[in-house]
Amino acid sequence: MSSYLYIHIPFCIKKCLYCDFLSVTYNEALAKAYTDALCKELVLKKNLAGELKTIYIGGGTPTILPDECFKQLFTCLQNNYSLSPSPEITVEANPGTV
């Protein structure tokens, strides 16, 4: 069974007036706590997924996260999920945070 995973990162540089997405202004301590909680939830749900063919990370502005949070997230995925040989991995980005 193939699976497709969406991960929501709710942080932005600022909350835009026109935005209807669930997002909050970036706070480093909150982002690290969110990443910890996200990884715990991913571990809890690992038996529900088949081989991951697609991982889509959206938000918010996912690229606002520190590199260490991305490393933690991808390590969690690699250690707990079966990835297809060539998974499609997409991360929404803001040029100002890349």
Helix (H) or strand (E) holding 5: strand 2-9
Average pLDDT of 77-86? 96
Distance CA 93, CA 64 (A): 8
Q: Provide the 3-class DSSP secondary structure of residue 24.
A: strand
Locate 91 and state its tokens: 């991360």
Check residue 96 and give its pLDDT: 87
Check residue 82 and give its pLDDT: 96
Check residue 17 and give its pLDDT: 86
Per-residue pLDDT of 51-69, as tens digits, reads 999 999 999 999 999 999 9
Strand 2-9: give its sheet, edge to edge: 2-9, 51-59, 83-91
With beta carbons less than 8 A apart as the criterion, state whether 84 and 2 touch: yes
User: Across the chain, what does the average pLDDT equal?
Assistant: 95
Rounded to two decimals, what is the model's pTM?
A: 0.92
Check residue 43 and give its pLDDT: 98
What is the C-alpha radius of gyration for the chain, rounded to an integer number of angstroms? 14
Residue ranges in the chain assigned as alpha helix (H): 28-45, 67-80
Residue with the larger pLDDT of the pair 4 and 16: 4
